[in-house]
């Protein structure tokens, strides 16, 4: 009795994701793939970093419909029809956002691995709160682990952006 070879289990998903303003097709995906995996391995967006894959480190942070989330904890195929912004979508290459520039100016970057996630978290924080206290900043960035800086300069960078946005009224 002849048998048709079975297709690889669960690798036949096709869907589209709206990432950084582009409609991106995803093909031959497995059911259980995280958004982080799809961003990096299928869409070539390597800015979001994968470390813990359990929502502990924040290095994979992205915005989905303006909410800051860990992309490792988002089922990619469930993010269809939502607006996804990754670190690549924050500002064009060569012209950093005010938060990115402030991180550079404050020396808030050492190895750089946590930086994309922290930039996403800082943008999200400053969008919600124009005058964050240091306590608020620490609480809002508490899901982003940095093992190099000790956080002092990261907090300074966020405070600097808040001040300059108020001064320029932007």
Partner 1 sequence: MSVEVLSTLHEALQFLAARPDALVLGGGTDLMVELNAGHRQAHAVACVNRVRELRAWLNDPVAATVHLGAAVTYAELMTEPLASLLPALAQAARTVGSPQIRNAATIGGNVATASPAGDGLPVLAALNAIVHLASAGGTRDVTFDQFATGPKRTVLRPGELITGITVPVLQGYQGYSKVGVRNAMVIATASACLAVHAPERSIRLALGSVGPVIIRAVDAEEFAAGAVDWQAGGASDGVVTQFATLAAAAARPIDDHRSTAAYRRRAIQVLAARLLRRAFPVESAGTAS
User: Footprint of partner 1 on this chain (CB under 8 A)?
Assistant: 9-10, 12-13, 15, 31-32, 34, 53-56, 58, 61, 67-70, 72-75, 77-78, 80-81, 121, 124-125, 139-140, 142-144
Q: To the nearest whole angstrom, how small is the minimum distance from the Cβ of residue 49 to partner 1?
A: 14
Read off the tokens for 17: 């994701």
CA angle 49, 28, 70 (to 5 degrees): 25
Q: Which is nearer to partner 1, 102 or 125 (CB)?
A: 125
What does the alpha-carbon distance between residue 45 and residue 21 come to, in Å, rounded to a whole number? Answer: 13
Q: To the nearest whole angstrom, how small is the minimum distance from the Cβ of residue 67 to partner 1?
A: 4
Q: Which is nearer to partner 1, 142 or 164 (CB)?
A: 142
Q: To the nearest whole angstrom, how small is the minimum distance from the Cβ of residue 141 to partner 1?
A: 8
Cα-to-chain-centroid distance, residue 170: 23
Q: To the nearest whole angstrom, how small is the minimum distance from the Cβ of residue 54 to partner 1?
A: 4
Q: Which is nearer to partner 1, 75 or 104 (CB)?
A: 75
Residue 13 CA: distances (Å) to CA of 19, 33, 39, 113: 18, 10, 15, 31
- Tracing tokens 């020396």 back to the chain, one arrives at 107
Cα-to-chain-centroid distance, residue 155: 18
- Among candidate residues 105, 79, 94, 99, the one with its CA nearest the CA of residue 144: 99
Q: Which is nearer to partner 1, 13 or 91 (CB)?
A: 13
Read off the tokens for 89: 């979508």
> Under a CB-based contact definition with an 8 Å cutoff, are residues 93 and 20 in contact?
no
Q: To the nearest whole angstrom, how small is the minimum distance from the Cβ of residue 23 to partner 1?
A: 16
Q: Which is nearer to partner 1, 121 or 161 (CB)?
A: 121
């Amino acid at each position: 009795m002849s048998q048709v070879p079975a297709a690889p289990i669960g690798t036949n998903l096709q869907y589209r994701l709206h990432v950084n303003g582009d409609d991106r097709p995803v093909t031959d995906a497995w059911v259980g793939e995280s958004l982080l995996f799809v961003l990096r391995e299928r869409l070539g967006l390597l800015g979001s970093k994968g470390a813990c894959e359990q929502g502990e480190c924040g290095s994979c942070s992205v915005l989905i419909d303006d909410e800051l989330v860990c992309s490792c904890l988002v089922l990619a195929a469930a993010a269809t029809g939502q607006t996804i912004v990754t670190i690549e979508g924050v500002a064009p290459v060569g012209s950093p956002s005010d938060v990115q520039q402030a991180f550079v100016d404050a020396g808030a970057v050492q190895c750089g691995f946590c930086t994309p996630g922290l930039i996403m978290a800082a943008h999200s924080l400053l969008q919600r709160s124009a005058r964050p206290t240091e306590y608020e900043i620490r609480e809002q960035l508490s899901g982003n682990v940095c093992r190099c800086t000790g956080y002092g300069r990261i907090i300074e960078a966020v405070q600097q952006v808040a001040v300059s946005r108020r001064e320029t009224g932007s």
